[in-house]
Structure 1
Amino acid sequence: MAGDIRLIVQGDDFGMCHAVNVGTIQAFREGILTQASTMAACPWFTEAAALARESGIPLGVHQTLTCEWDFLRWRPLTDGPSLVGDDATFLRTVDAARASITYDDSVRELSAQVAKFAAEGLAIDYLDVHMGQSAQESAYDEVSDAAGKPFIYGPVESQRFASIVTLSDREADGKKAWMLDHIAGLTPGVHLLVTHCAAAHPELAAMTSPGTYTYRWAEEYRLSDQEIVTDPEIRKAIEERGIELVSMRNAFSD
């Protein structure tokens, strides 16, 4: 039955920069975004926390052990030496993080990121991971167990979803058609759609160098995601199928 279809629309990287914060809240208030994965180690987390308190957007901890950009760099909240490169900021790739980061340093850092949410008075509904891949899988499990919240990309928790799909890294001119097809094809169950929303601010284009492997993630993918998530035709297609928009807070409730 169509009424048995639930869709989580998640915005990643909340707190990373002002453009992402503005776009995420707009997508939540005016679009179909239902939750935001939030980066406590990033420079604009304090603004994201204030916006979250004001808007009530459901939040997850976007557990962060990497920093992929050339010019937007962030440091760990803790002092674990295995967490950083020569510039004392997080390593740039998941592979580099896996090769360097120790279990103990991971647990301390990820625990500090969770604690920073509590210090801002923010409730946590779930935990996930930045850049989509785990740098220290057992550390993520330990931290989520201690927080008492699901790590949604874990081997057990991820099986609860009927699908987990990323919108972002698709060509902009075909993204709306893909999204409409995706909505039309959803089956009963809980589906997770991962997006990376941002408002059109100059800082997006300035985060990294042209030609780098992250370049399209800086501006192109985010602005096209923002357009899709706030498109009235997309919301209409969801409503016509009777799909319920939910967050991790209520996705698996009866």
Structure 2
Amino acid sequence: MKSDVRLIVQGDDFGMCHAVNAGTIQAYREGILTQTSTMAACPWFTEAAALARQTGIPLGVHQTLTCEWDYLRWRPLTGGATLVGADGTFFRTVAEAAASMSDDDALRELSAQVARFAAEGLTFEYLDVHMGQSASAAVYEEVARAAGRPLVFGASESRRFGSIETLSDRDAEGKKDWLLGYLDGLMPGVHLLITHCAVAEPELGALTAPGTETYRWAEEYRLSDQALVLDPEIRQAIAERGIALMSVGEAFG
């Protein structure tokens, strides 16, 4: 049996769309999910906030300066002109966003996203970054300092963790074997496993065009992640190995 192995199982993109919201809550209530990174700039954030108040799911701020989808688009909460493309929505890639945005616009936007949690009566345990670093590291660090919460992943790899892994972008047929092997290999310490959960709803397949770089992230990866975080064999493997499931707040106080 393992000793002193602590595992945070995170669901990303809470607030993005209804299918993600429903899947995240199911994964928390019925599966091994322990926290969720939440997108305040997205159209379904209001539903996510209501679900968070109902369930008490531990939240993080998924700091959002990009929007990767073809047909689901979202805009900044602020009016920063350097944050958006010609259609007035966030850029699709980290590279495009980083090439355009000013630190001042990014700081105002990310601060507004944090403020939206308080406006909904929500608290959060940490901050991380959607898709990768679009603004300078100093911007993310300033927002985290002002919020009084750790920046756990994104602008730079956090030394808080023994490992950081992503479950999602693996072929479905090999994903369960990979996860069981991952659990076997965990050493004492705190580990972060990032997932992208969603239930099967038609909206997932309509997020983006087939053949695009993000197409597999829309539906395929999310549904296979959902199946695994709900899989009784995975929960049993965690129990047999003596792995403690927890959130960032529980792990680091």
Band of TM-score, shorter chain: over 0.9
Structure 2, unmatched stretches of 5+, are none
Residue 208 of structure 1 aligns to which amino acid in structure 2? T
Distance 1:215 1:157 in 2: 26
1:74 partnered with 2:62: no
Closer, same or farther in 2 for the Cα pair 1:148/1:172, shift >3 Å? Answer: same
Match of 2:41 in 1: 41
Closer, same or farther in 2 for the Cα pair 1:155/1:199, shift >3 Å? Answer: closer
The alignment of Structure 1 onto Structure 2 pairs a total of residues equal to 253
Residue 66 of structure 2 aligns to which amino acid in structure 1? T
Residue 222 of structure 1 aligns to which amino acid in structure 2? R
Closer, same or farther in 2 for the Cα pair 1:212/1:155, shift >3 Å? Answer: closer
Match of 2:54 in 1: 54
Tell me the secondary structure at the aligned position of residue 91 of structure 1: coil
Tell me the secondary structure at the aligned position of residue 177 of structure 1: helix
Residue 180 of structure 1 aligns to which amino acid in structure 2? L
Displacement after TM superposition at 1:155 (Å): 6.9
* Contact 1:39–1:61, Cα closer than 8 Å, also in 2: yes
Residue 114 of structure 2 aligns to which amino acid in structure 1? V
Aligned structure 1 segments of 4 or more residues deviating by more than 3 angstroms: 132-135, 154-157
* Contact 2:132–2:155, Cα closer than 8 Å, also in 1: no
Tell me the secondary structure at the aligned position of residue 138 of structure 1: helix
Distance 2:156 2:250 in 1: 19
Match of 2:31 in 1: 31
* Contact 1:151–1:157, Cα closer than 8 Å, also in 2: no
Displacement after TM superposition at 1:136 (Å): 2.7
Displacement after TM superposition at 1:157 (Å): 6.9
Structure 1, unmatched stretches of 5+, are none
Q: How does 1:62-211 map to 2 (within 5 A)?
A: 62-153=62-153, 158-211=158-211
Displacement after TM superposition at 1:176 (Å): 0.3
* Contact 1:41–1:75, Cα closer than 8 Å, also in 2: yes
Distance 1:130 1:141 in 2: 15
Residue 133 of structure 1 aligns to which amino acid in structure 2? Q
Closer, same or farther in 2 for the Cα pair 1:154/1:198, shift >3 Å? Answer: closer
Residue 115 of structure 1 aligns to which amino acid in structure 2? A
Tell me the secondary structure at the aligned position of residue 7 of structure 1: strand
* Contact 1:117–1:123, Cα closer than 8 Å, also in 2: yes
Residue 158 of structure 1 aligns to which amino acid in structure 2? S
Mean CA deviation greater in 71-80 or 135-144: 135-144
Sequence identity, in percent? 72
Displacement after TM superposition at 1:56 (Å): 0.5
Distance 2:144 2:21 in 1: 24
Tell me the secondary structure at the aligned position of residue 11 of structure 2: strand
Normalising by structure 2, we get a TM-score of 0.98
Distance 1:39 1:197 in 2: 14
Distance 1:132 1:156 in 2: 9
* Contact 1:95–1:135, Cα closer than 8 Å, also in 2: no
Residue 196 of structure 1 aligns to which amino acid in structure 2? H
* Contact 1:141–1:154, Cα closer than 8 Å, also in 2: no
Displacement after TM superposition at 1:214 (Å): 0.3
Distance 2:151 2:252 in 1: 14
Normalising by structure 1, we get a TM-score of 0.97
* Contact 2:129–2:154, Cα closer than 8 Å, also in 1: no
Displacement after TM superposition at 1:154 (Å): 5.9
Tell me the secondary structure at the aligned position of residue 160 of structure 1: coil
